[in-house]
Amino acid sequence: MKSTTDSPDVINFSALERELQSAVEADKKYQRENDARFRAIHQKVGSYEEFRDIVLASHLKPLERKDKVGAPRALPWNTLASNNKGQDQTSCDNMKLQISEFQPRTASEFGRDWRRLGSGNPDEKYHFLLSLSGDGLRGIFRAEVGFGLLGEFLEVLSRGLQPGDESAMIDILQGLSKTPRLNQSLRLSKKRYNTKYQHMMRIVYYQAIKCHSL
């Protein structure tokens, strides 16, 4: 007799439970790494190695007091990161590529993270944009970037520009200029908004060129 579990009409609850558990674990992992990424942005880490160490250690729980007091020194807290200390310094291009593994890949994910940073954190938003790079933003907004969001970008960039960020700033501006339908959005927008955009773009680009020439 054919088992009822082999019938296509019978729901395999064990399989569903395994799939659900896998999805839950994947979501938890994403949330841990996403939280760690935001901590790294808030802390303004100075290199990819620091950024990576924070994200890789996101699954580790803080030591309890009984584990700290009188405990002998053992293996490094993060052997994966420690093993990489002797390697050559990661190049700028490779750094951008590896950081992108922990960053939003769609406009929806970007919007969620952007809102999470809040309106009162322009410095964090500034470093967030720089961490994405021009190519990263172009990929996220492969359909289009909303005009209102574009205005926020320019406000944050124009106020946050710091010495040493000139090349990254120009890269971001070039990336935004290549997003689809940008020119169309500007043409269809009200003249005063279009003028504001053009004015802000010139200010940001001039600041970047001026700092770069010093």
Q: Any idea where the domains of the chain sit in the sequence?
A: 10-91, 103-214
Instruction: Take residue 73 and report the two structure tokens written for it.
Output: 């020194």
Q: Which residue has the higher pLDDT, 105 or 190?
A: 105
Is the pLDDT at 85 greater than 80, yes or no? Answer: no
pLDDT of residue 168: 86
pLDDT of residue 191: 64
pLDDT of residue 155: 84
pLDDT value at residue 207: 67
What's the CA gap between 151 and 33, in Å, rounded? 29
Give the span between the Cα atoms of 151 and 155, in whole angstroms: 6
Alpha-carbon separation of residue 206 from 66, 116, 127, 180 (angstroms)? 57, 30, 20, 24
Give pLDDT, residue 197: 67
Query: Is residue 181 predicted with pLDDT exceeding 70?
Result: yes
Listed in sequence order, the DSSP H helices in 107-190 are 107-117, 122-140, 147-160, 166-177, 182-188
Determine contact, residues 157/118, Cβ cutoff 8 Å.
Answer: no
Helix (H, G, I), strand (E, B) or coil at 199: helix
Question: What is the value of pTM for the model shown?
Answer: 0.50
